[in-house]
Chains A and B, each alone.
Chain A
Amino acid sequence: MKDNFVFRIRIIYILLFIFGSVILTRLFFVQVVRHDYYKELANQQYFASPAQYFDRGSIFFKDKNGQLISAAAIKEGFLLAINPKLIENPEEICDKLSQIIDLDKDLFFKSVDKKDDIYEEIAHKISRENGEEIKKLGLKGVNVYSERWRFYPGANLASRVLGFVGYNGDKLEGRYGLEKFYESVLGRGDEGEFIANSFAEIIMDIKKVISGTSLKGDIVLTIDPEAQNFLENSLQATLEKYEAEMAGGLVIDPRTGKILAMAVKPDFNPNYYGEEKDLSLFLNPITQNVFEMGSIMKPLTLAAALDQNKIIPETTYDDKGYVVLNNKRIENYDAKARGVVNMQEVLNQSLNTGAVFVMQKLGKEKFKEYIINYGLGEKTGIDLPDEITGLISNLDSGRDIEFATASFGQGIAVTPIEMAAALSTLANGGILMTPYVVEKIKPEEGIEKITEKNERRQVLKKETSEEISRMLVRVVDEALLGGIYKMEHYTVAAKTGTAQISGAREGGYSESEYTHTFFGYAPAFDARFLTFLFLSKPQGVRYASHSLTEPFMNITKFLLNYYQVPPDR
């Protein structure tokens, strides 16, 4: 009996040993013989992982009702990869895939020929539905893998403000605009790194928690999608109508510095940024280009003199139609003399000689002081990347002619955002604000961080700002295109500018190329929004009053109606 038992136990012993040996043999093959193969598979899998686990905070527009509308989000779908070794009938597969997605056939057949490879990506950003359909085909050697990418539902909408997420080396990060400026908030770290060293990552996470430095979350913009859309449509129409090189503009709430809309046309679709040839479209000229602003400078000059009590609206001077300084002749736009006129006429008729007169009354030193106080030549501190500063170094020379031209907006060049901030002082009681585009950050955990308005300094007295506003309302009511755009029930303050562009010739100006500028705000004595527009090198139109008045008035009417501003007269 016992011998029989031992015999039977031995049989089982042997069977189990064989089982164990089979396991070990198999392990030997998997771990030693085919190690390279599996390592390759593993690497492919890990390399594909950044796209699979890509994550990033969202960006939202906010409309007047506080409704959040997605401006940038994460979209999930698939990428398509083939295993060239397993592809048997490439033509047929190509046909079938082409029926579902827009297949790059050259890439497909090139990949099919790489018979030594087992993984070739041939299409990205495939929608869920299409990906599922491809899965259902069950084509041999054709696989879809999940992928996540940055998606901009508004396509071109506010693209120059938003920027986009792209590869910087091998790292996906915000490259332009808000995506770049708020990288630390939106970015979710490099997923690839933690895989490489799990323990190091854990320690880093603990450090982050302790130091609390990383505020990660979503971003809500001050930009209203309706206002933005209206502005963009107006700019696009204007751009096309005058075959201009560029049309830009912004709407700012002068009371706070909130940007309600900001756009420059032409722009780009951040979903397909890779297809864009002209890389300059990725920049935002509102903060990254300087322009000579032309006559919209005059209200700033006059306000400075009013503020110093050097003039009053009724002050008069004798307009000879020209002024000569440092042997250089400055003329009115039409070179005509108007005789004795008052300050209101300087604005109404946009008299260069008048601006020079006012600057001289104020004095060069004081004038320069005001220019600097207006924040021209100084970064506004807006939350957009790589802001540049205006060029006002001409005023350092001390030459009369430089001050004279600066008084009507030639010879000094500033960014549109600097100009808009400076002009806002006319509308808001004289305070220079920091403009901003992010209303709040909604962190992943913890409380929302709401941007607070930032008063940089008081530039003008409150009375000065009211006085200049009164004068600018009269410009619209009486002078702008003969007053045809006067609004019966709203006070609108505005001024146009037509600046010559300094040409290729040293120190000279082009005879045919102009920058048109326009700014205005309403309601003039309790301004809810200030609109600034510019048009670069328009064709077939000489003055900004002809090109930009209509878009400005349309935008202003839209805003008054959209925000349901009560009539003020």
Chain B
Amino acid sequence: MRNKNYDKVFLITVCLMILAGLFILVSASMGLLSREGASFSSIVIKQMALGLGPGIVLFLIASRIHYKKWKRFALPLFIFSFLLMLLVFEPHLGFSHGGAKRWISFGSFTFQPSEILKFAFIIYLASWLSSRKDDVKSFKFGFLPFLIITGFVGALLVLEPDIGTLGVIAITAALMFFVAGGRFSQVALLIFLGVAVLYVLILIKPHAMSRVTVFLNPSVDPQGIGYQLRQSLIGIGSGGIFGRGFGMSIQKFNYLPEPIGDSIFAVFAEEFGFIGSLFLLGLFLFFLYRGFRIVMRSPDSFARLLGSGIVMLIIIQSFINIGSIIGIVPLTGLPLIFISQGGSALAMALASMGILLNISKNG
């Protein structure tokens, strides 16, 4: 076996993204000072203690575990995360916020099991698809089982409801199915099914409906459901080419909802302008390039599927987040990976980076 080194450029890229994320979070959380009296230091410390700290530990462990071992843990891990997801509905542990049950709390410690599920599902899918080999092309042994597995996960996320995560998982899964060798016709069918499911969801969930309405017609009621989009656009647009400067966002005070959550990109774009947006987008695209480079150099199909799944998941979620903040995708409530506040998301993202790094060495 060739003994390669870790992809240092990839590692530096990830470090840059994490650093940029902390930087942006520090500034954006200032905006909360004037609101609920939330202490900004507590937000940053929480992100470090519950996200970055455990994330680095998970990263170091994952980067030392040979990626092939994940194949063996794939199913148990998937079932475990699936069960965790069910706990959300357990009234003593489940914790709802903003009308959605997405959190589990143990005492003062809360986390979002869907973050674990996302990665567990990708690992499982990579392992399953790679073991199917050419059966993937078959309708009965490839397409149908794939649909059923994805459907299970999807149903759970609809119940929470977490349509944004469902979207990210569904798209990533479909792309992995495509990468694994699925027929073009089947992929087309997947896209059709996805659109149909989305349509049904919009009909039965008024919350989702309103978001699509706003997406299609942003000027609808600027004080109501279109408020967040309008405010994020005002922030991003008023940033101009060079931005207002670090810490100088006005929108994060009082105007922009969720300045440290889904709207964090708007704060960033307001403070750093188009130059900053270009830099951050460039960073994500470079991450995509470098991640796919690792994937394409790896010899076995499990590594390729696992690696590409992780890279795609991160890029898709980030682009959907940014896209929704600038009004080219309906608002989803997805965090911007590496940047938004959210310990579980950061920790899991870091763990998956460890896996990718291990693939770069051993693949």
Query: Could you tell me which A residues sit within 8 Å of B by CB distance?
Result: 1-2, 4-6, 8-9, 11-13, 16-17, 19-20, 22-24, 26-28, 30-32, 34-35, 37-39, 41-42, 45-46, 49, 53, 135, 143-145, 194-195, 198-199, 202
Contacts and interface: CB of A to CB of B under 8 A. Distances in A.
Contacts of B273: 31
Contacts of B254: 49, 53
A269 B2 CA distance: 89
B318 to A, nearest CB: 10
B296 A39 contact: no
B319 A19 contact: yes
Contacts of B328: 22-23, 26
30 contacts: A5-B296, A6-B296, A9-B179, A9-B296, A11-B178, A12-B178, A12-B179, A12-B312, A16-B312, A20-B288, A20-B319, A22-B328, A23-B319, A24-B281, A27-B277, A27-B281, A27-B326, A32-B274, A35-B238, A35-B240, A38-B238, A41-B238, A42-B235, A42-B237, A45-B234, A53-B254, A143-B223, A144-B223, A195-B250, A198-B250
B25 to A, nearest CB: 16
Contacts of A37: 237
B238 A42 contact: yes
Main secondary structure of the interface of B (DSSP, over half): helix
Interface in B35-94: none
A11 B296 CA distance: 13
A8 B312 CA distance: 13
Main secondary structure of the interface of A (DSSP, over half): helix
A26 B281 CA distance: 12
A9 B292 contact: yes
Contact of A39 (B34, B237, B295, B299): B237
B24 interface: no
Contact of A23 (B237, B301, B316, B326): B326
Interface string B260-272: 0000000001000
Please indicate which of the listed interface residues A5, A8, A27 has the most CB atoms of chain B within 10 Å of its own CB: A27
Interface residues of B, number: 51
Interface string B296-338: 1001010010001000100110010011001110000000000
Sort A-B residue pairs by CB-CB distance and give the 8 closest, nearest first: A38-B237, A42-B238, A31-B274, A35-B240, A39-B238, A27-B277, A30-B237, A38-B238
A118 to B, nearest CB: 12
A534 to B, nearest CB: 50
B175 interface: yes
Nearest to B176: A12
Contacts of A145: 223
A5 B312 CA distance: 15
B322 A23 contact: yes
Nearest to B224: A135
Contacts of A30: 233, 236-237, 326
Nearest to A46: B250
B354 interface: no
A197 to B, nearest CB: 8
Interface string B221-260: 0110000000001111111110000011011011100000
B295 A9 contact: yes
B285 interface: yes
Given A16-B315, A199-B247, A31 B323 contact: no
